[in-house]
Copies of this chain bind each other. A is one copy, B any other.
Amino acid sequence: MELRHVRYFVAVAEELSFRGAAEKLHMAQPPLSAQIKALEEELRVRLLERTTRSVRLTHAGRVFLEEARAVLAASAQAEQRARDAAQGLAGTLRVGIIAPVAGAWLAGILRRFRQRFPGVQLSLFDLTSTEQLRRLHARELDAGLLRPPIGLPELDYKFVGESRQVLAVPAGHRLARKKRLEWKDFHDEELVLIHPSAQHGFYDPFFAACAKAGARLRPVQYANDIQTKMWLISAGFGIAPTTATLGEVKRPGLVFRALPAGLPPVQTVLAWRRGDPSPVLEHFCKGFEPFMSLSIL
């Protein structure tokens, strides 16, 4: 069975006339009769009851007509969705994110994208930057919002925002009471850090500044995710530098303080595989224009 048979049958069933249907299909009547006959022979089912003066649907024909319309609808939808997908109006997009960007800024961008491209299914994955890079390489992600450096030549990326580092301290902590912090104030302080395996270089500028000022730090607690890290700090286990955007998250017992000047901002980049030019992806990347260097992120 081919779609031609289905199209022809629906035309005849709707017109209840071979000649009429043939005209509608811009073809001659004999080949139309032949095709319908072939369809009936393949199905081994009589679909139409013809006399020389009239055409009627058999019971099987009535049933088949319903199904035939469904087939044509499915095929039309298949064509449409393929075209949509080619224009970036349909499809799926798997995007990696890190916890610090999951704030109002990204929510706004995603909302706009979903409004403009309702046919695209967005799947978000909360992963570390390292894991995102692995999955981008393995084609398990289409894009990722993560921290540089990238380090994979096959990936392209662009900066989409930057943010200061701030200090997260337990409420009532010694440093929470100080008005203006200096690097030597961190001497002997206990730190709550994200485990090195899920981290590449985020703390390095902080460590360097402390070392330069002669402040020796004491890493005492390692967490695997941001939520645990913030909880440990609020529970008084120590202090830690954090991205300023996390200040959006209020938590009892947790306060934020400005760090001494001199730290480079934390950058967020959007990365994707180069030479994998999905129009959906292109639209998604455009949603991050223009570059927001002064974003609160």
* A residues whose Cβ falls under 8 Å from a Cβ of B: 1-4, 6, 43-47, 58-64, 67-68, 70-71, 74-75, 77-79, 81-86, 90-92, 278-281
Instruction: Give, as a whole number of angstroms, the nearest-CB distance from A84 to chain B.
Output: 8
**Residue ID in chain B nearest A142 by CB atoms:** B59
Distance A92 CA – B47 CA, assembled complex (angstroms): 15
Distance A280 CA – B60 CA, assembled complex (angstroms): 10
Q: Choose one: B2, B45, B71, B279; the contact of A85 (CB below 8 Å).
A: B45
Known pairs A3-B3, A44-B86, A63-B84; list 10 more (Cβ under 8 Å): A43-B86, A45-B82, A58-B278, A59-B279, A60-B85, A63-B85, A63-B91, A63-B92, A64-B81, A74-B74
Q: CB distance B78 to A67 under 8 Å? A: yes
Q: CB distance A79 to B46 under 8 Å? A: no
A47: B residues at CB distance < 8 A:
82
**Residue ID in chain B nearest A70 by CB atoms:** B74
Instruction: Give, as a whole number of angstroms, the nearest-CB distance from A25 to chain B.
Output: 15
Instruction: Give, as a whole number of angstroms, the nearest-CB distance from A120 to chain B.
Output: 10
Q: CB distance A78 to B280 under 8 Å? A: no
Instruction: Give, as a whole number of angstroms, the nearest-CB distance from A154 to chain B.
Output: 15
Q: Choose one: B43, B75, B79; the contact of A79 (CB below 8 Å).
A: B43
Distance A278 CA – B57 CA, assembled complex (angstroms): 11
Q: CB distance B60 to A91 under 8 Å? A: yes
Instruction: Give, as a whole number of angstroms, the nearest-CB distance from A13 to chain B.
Output: 12
Q: CB distance A86 to B3 under 8 Å? A: no
Q: Choose one: B1, B43, B82, B92; the contact of A3 (CB below 8 Å).
A: B1
A86: B residues at CB distance < 8 A:
43-46, 60
26 CB < 8 A contacts A-B? A1-B3, A1-B79, A2-B4, A44-B83, A44-B86, A45-B83, A45-B85, A45-B86, A46-B86, A59-B279, A59-B280, A59-B281, A60-B82, A60-B83, A60-B91, A62-B92, A63-B81, A63-B82, A63-B90, A63-B92, A64-B78, A64-B81, A67-B81, A70-B77, A70-B78, A71-B78
